[in-house]
């Protein structure tokens, strides 16, 4: 009888402690992604051997309201980045329906920013981006649709975000460009480091993105 009592007492003590330890166990931090960690086809050749300390480089483009937006808008905030173009009929509409979910999920969070860079600045003027932003309920000051010099947009994609690959690899280009944009959303932390890539056409992966943004907020 004493043995049964002892076992029951042990269970009463140990089981709650076990649940507490499991509930308070810290999640493994999100990885910090560097050029050597991604498909080399996406990376500017100058950066292929960089294995640590990669940060998003400087940029300056106009958003849908004609405001000049720089990398300072990312610094100190958590950012989600994509490349797209407004006349795209394939993956872009799907991607931006998913980005709308992120826009809505963090509508009240001032430290979450969204950046949609065009690969077709000849078509995607400030006015065109404004119409597109309005059609997607973009929150002013949160979701920036950015346009500017084509070479600068492409250079940033190849040297900072790793989301463009040469079109000649598939004999296909977006909007007649020399590059193909991927369907990836890129998660950037407050220190301008890449923390994850997510398929912007997948609701499941965007769910994970939303979850990982919350993890970064508590990091």
Q: How far apart are CA 159 and CA 126, in angstroms?
A: 24
Q: Is 39 within a domain?
A: yes
Q: Is 20 within a domain?
A: no
Per-residue pLDDT tens over the stretch 68-112 = 999 999 999 999 999 999 999 999 999 999 999 999 999 999 999
Q: Is 17 within a domain?
A: no
pLDDT at residue 39, as a whole number: 92
What CATH number does the domain containing 133 carry? 3.40.30.10
How many domains does the structure of the chain reveal? 1
pLDDT at residue 3, as a whole number: 56
Per-residue pLDDT tens over the stretch 109-168 = 999 999 999 999 999 999 999 999 999 999 999 999 999 999 999 999 999 999 998 875
Range of the domain at 96: 31-217
Contacts (Cβ under 8 Å, ≥6 apart) of 88 = 174, 175
Q: Is 153 within a domain?
A: yes
Q: Is 4 within a domain?
A: no
DSSP string covering 165-192: EEGGGTT--GGG-SEEE-SEEEEE-TTS
Q: Is 188 within a domain?
A: yes
Name the residue with tokens 């301008």.
Answer: 192
Q: Is 5 within a domain?
A: no
Q: Is 22 within a domain?
A: no
């Amino acid at each position: 009888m004493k043995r049964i009592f002892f076992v029951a007492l042990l269970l009463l003590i140990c089981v709650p402690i076990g649940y507490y330890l499991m509930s308070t166990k810290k999640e493994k931090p999100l990885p910090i992604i560097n050029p050597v960690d991604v498909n080399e086809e996406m990376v500017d050749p100058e950066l292929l051997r960089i294995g640590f300390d990669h940060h998003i480089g400087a940029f300056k483009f106009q958003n849908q309201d004609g405001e000049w937006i720089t990398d300072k808008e990312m610094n100190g905030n958590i950012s989600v980045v994509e490349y797209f173009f407004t006349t795209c009929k394939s993956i872009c509409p799907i991607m931006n329906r998913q980005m709308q979910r992120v826009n809505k999920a963090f509508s009240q969070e001032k430290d979450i920013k969204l950046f949609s860079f065009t690969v077709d600045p000849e078509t995607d003027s400030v006015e065109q981006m404004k119409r597109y932003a309005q059609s997607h309920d973009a929150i002013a000051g949160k979701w920036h649709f950015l346009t500017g010099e084509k070479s600068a947009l492409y250079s940033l994609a190849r040297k900072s975000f790793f989301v463009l690959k040469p079109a000649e690899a598939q004999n296909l280009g977006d909007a007649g460009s020399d590059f193909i944009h991927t369907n990836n959303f890129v998660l950037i932390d407050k220190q301008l480091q890449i923390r994850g890539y997510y398929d912007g056409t997948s609701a499941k992966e965007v769910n994970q993105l939303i979850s990982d943004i919350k993890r970064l907020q508590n990091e």
